[in-house]
Structure 1
Amino acid sequence: MRICFIMYPWERVEAQMDSTLRLIHECVKRGHMVALTTPNNLTIRNSVAQAYVDVFTKETKVTNNFVSFYKNAKFKRCQLPLSGFDMIFMRDNPPLDTLALNFLDSVDSHTFIMNSLNGLRIANNKLYTSSFNDHENRFIPVTHASKNREYLQRVLAESPGDRMILKPLNGFGGEGVIIVEKKAASNFRSLLDFYIGNKNSKGNYVILQEYVEGADQGDVRILMLNGEPIGAMRRIPAKGDIRSNVHAGGYVKKHVLSKDEKTLCKFIGPKLVEDGLYFVGIDVINGKLIEVNVQSPGGISRINTLNKVKLQEKVIDFIENIVITRRNLIEHKKLLTKVIDDANSIN
């Protein structure tokens, strides 16, 4: 199988805990041809979408030590057509480079891309959760998004709770997430000026969201594959911080999905698959969906360590099954086409 990872630069990989490295390692270990590239290396040559890629050579030693594998990897530089790959794995970090997706539109019908281009386009920001049609807000917190200061001030004033969560629409990694309280509403206008921007600019959208009880105790990261949960961990924020992200100083604990969390996964799973979002990370607080991470969901290494599992094996098994199925369909189509052509050639 020929696999291309479109990701962040190789030198930025944190070998000790990097999820993408686990996926790459599994592919190389299985003997697949693996190429790495970044959005900046996508190109068009003679109207064909290509990329400058680094291909793992046979000299690369595949040890079970990820740090050693990373440090000793051997590559050769090539310019290759993207439609020649059996699979393209999108693993670039947020924010989404929408222009890079345009390079891949011509490849989409020939090559399996995970996650799908359409899925990435519609789900790369925090508004995607509103598309699950949870009108009773059983699984999705009440969410407002706007750049209108007066509207957002009114939302806070009319909120049934004493506090809400404010965050930038396109933020990631817990960046800019804060709690706003009604009793401090006099400062809210200044916060909005900071988040939205000055009146002379187009302004940035912000999200004002219902505060879910238990948020101060952290959240649960659940990895979903083909609409089903395959692993989870609880993320605990650092003291004095509401952000659970490990990169923001939090830490993780082993977690077994609750009944409510399983129900949530069952509720959102079919739409994720329908939208071509086969491998995602969801962030859940008290049984409610806070975010869907579709670009480069992390957590594989930590969940593996906590549960003594290898989630990357399940992910690559899924990819192999998809590619084999597609190949079989193509071969079957060729066979049936030949039958028709042979019949048509008989006088």
Structure 2
Amino acid sequence: MRIAFFVNSIEGETAYYTTTTLAIAAIARGHDVCYVTPGDFVLRPDDRLMIRATVLKGSKAKKADAFVAALQSGQTKVETIDVAEIDVLFLRNDPSEDADERPWAAQAGTIFGRLAAERGVLTVNDPDGLARAQNKLYFQDFPEAVRPTTLISKSIEEIRAFIDQQKQGAILKPLQGSGGKNVFKIASSKEANLNQIFEAVSGEGYLIAQGYLPDATAGDVRMFLMNGRPLQRDGAYAAFRRVPAKGDVRSNMSAAGTAAAVEVTPEMLAVAELVRPKLIEDGMFLVGLDIVGSKILEINVFTPGGLPDIAELHGVDLAPDVIAALEEKIKMKSNYAGKLSNRILATL
């Protein structure tokens, strides 16, 4: 196979990214890998969709640090190829990273991913599903049983009233965003700095206020689902606990959170089962659930990370399993010759 990984930028890739782990696993399994960024698509007058793909020179698998160093240090070449020559387009960008400085780039993956899928390229996660998930409002489409009590508003009066109803306080965060940016815990609507917090967060648009879950003090559990089911091999699950830094309510790894081993419980598996139908309906091949108790704080469908942490904590590298699943999808695609939509194939 030839797999194209769509990312925000080549310069922004790191050795600890899950995308890096997936790329290395693909190379180790004998596949060709290239990288594509938001500015690398070309739709020609003859309706051919081309990509300016960044390709590593040589096909030998490397360690993560060496792989990223080679990717960023000129040991690459740019090839302009027809997207039809790509077997899999793996959309792995974070739209929120581009929303402020490069708004044109935020939706490039879903826009051109849809065109690639129309031209027969297996595109995961399904771009139509991702288009519906551009902000956290997507989370409200999942069963109420897995969601914390939630208010979405730009009204400070509505938010104050909501906080007053939450005995354990509330979490306030922007509707659009990721990485734990501008996430605050509010204990009471009478807090002196609530107005300042509201102004800071509402400047990015609508806000989400969620009832605080006391169990979140120990962090949340990031669990990977693949094809709608927990990713696991021989009982070893792709899951780990994200522990917040001391004095911080955020467990995001980008906000100084740390990874710890976790045992997957029947309660967590029950939560995953409740969201499975919606994920399959939307063609979400690989996602990350952030679970606290019997609730989900967020569902990451764009760039779920943590596979390298899981490999280190549990001694099980599940990246090859993800690539193997893509191999099976390409076989099915060939067998059914255009009879399966991209959305259906994405989660079969």
TM-score where L is the length of structure 1: 0.86
**Which residue is equivalent to 2:343?**
none
Match of 1:139 among 135, 146, 162: 146
1:43 to partner: Cα distance: 2.1
Alpha-carbon RMSD: 2.1
C-alpha offsets along residues 162-211 of structure 1, whole Å, 9 cap, x if unaligned?
Answer: 411100111211111111122634543332223223xxxxx710000111
Q: Contact 2:89/2:121 (CA < 8 Å) preserved in 1?
A: yes
The one-letter amino acid paired with 2:124 is M
Q: Contact 2:147/2:295 (CA < 8 Å) preserved in 1?
A: yes
Q: Distance in 1 between matches of 2:168 and 2:338?
A: 62
Q: How does 1:18-29 map to 2 (within 5 A)?
A: 18-29=17-28
Q: Does 1:49 align with 2:49?
A: yes
The one-letter amino acid paired with 2:215 is G
Q: Contact 1:220/1:232 (CA < 8 Å) preserved in 2?
A: yes
1:294 to partner: Cα distance: 1.1
**Which residue is equivalent to 1:337?**
none
**Which residue is equivalent to 1:192?**
198
**Which residue is equivalent to 1:168?**
174
Distance 1:150 1:211, change over 3 A: same
Q: Does 1:182 align with 2:188?
A: yes
C-alpha offsets along residues 237-293 of structure 1, whole Å, 9 cap, x if unaligned?
Answer: 111111111221121111111121110011111211111111011111122100011
1:14 to partner: Cα distance: 1.7
Q: Contact 2:168/2:214 (CA < 8 Å) preserved in 1?
A: no
Q: Contact 2:225/2:289 (CA < 8 Å) preserved in 1?
A: yes
Q: Contact 2:152/2:209 (CA < 8 Å) preserved in 1?
A: yes
1:48 to partner: Cα distance: 2.4
Q: Does 1:5 align with 2:14?
A: no
**Which residue is equivalent to 2:14?**
14
1:31 to partner: Cα distance: 1.9
1:114 to partner: Cα distance: 0.6
SS of the residue corresponding to residue 104 of structure 1 reads: helix
For this pair of structures, how many residues does the alignment match?
Answer: 321
Q: Does 1:113 align with 2:123?
A: yes
Q: How does 1:7-156 map to 2 (within 5 A)?
A: 7-15=7-15, 17-46=16-45, 47-57=47-57, 59-63=58-62, 65-72=63-70, 74-95=75-96, 97-109=106-118, 110-134=120-144, 138-156=145-163
1:42 to partner: Cα distance: 1.7
Match of 1:308 among 315, 321, 332: 315
Q: Contact 2:91/2:109 (CA < 8 Å) preserved in 1?
A: no
Match of 1:243 among 229, 247, 250: 250
The one-letter amino acid paired with 1:168 is P
Q: Distance in 2 between matches of 1:332 and 1:7?
A: 29
SS of the residue corresponding to residue 43 of structure 1 reads: strand
Q: Contact 2:241/2:260 (CA < 8 Å) preserved in 1?
A: yes
1:102 to partner: Cα distance: 2.1
Q: Contact 1:61/1:69 (CA < 8 Å) preserved in 2?
A: no
SS of the residue corresponding to residue 152 of structure 1 reads: helix
Match of 2:288 among 281, 285, 307: 281
Q: Distance in 1 between matches of 2:295 and 2:151?
A: 16
SS of the residue corresponding to residue 11 of structure 2 reads: helix
Q: Contact 1:3/1:87 (CA < 8 Å) preserved in 2?
A: yes
**Which residue is equivalent to 1:323?**
330
1:303 to partner: Cα distance: 0.4
C-alpha offsets along residues 123-182 of structure 1, whole Å, 9 cap, x if unaligned?
Answer: 232222211132xxx32101111112222222223x142411100111211111111122
**Which residue is equivalent to 1:228?**
229
Q: Distance in 1 between matches of 2:108 and 2:53?
A: 18
Q: Distance in 2 between matches of 1:162 and 1:283?
A: 20
SS of the residue corresponding to residue 78 of structure 1 reads: strand
Q: Contact 1:235/1:252 (CA < 8 Å) preserved in 2?
A: yes
SS of the residue corresponding to residue 39 of structure 2 reads: helix
Distance 1:4 1:273, change over 3 A: same
SS of the residue corresponding to residue 325 of structure 1 reads: helix
1:105 to partner: Cα distance: 2.5
The structure with the larger Rg is: 1
SS of the residue corresponding to residue 123 of structure 1 reads: coil
Q: Which moved more, 1:203-212 or 1:89-98?
A: 89-98
Name the % identity: 31
1:296 to partner: Cα distance: 1.1
The one-letter amino acid paired with 2:324 is D
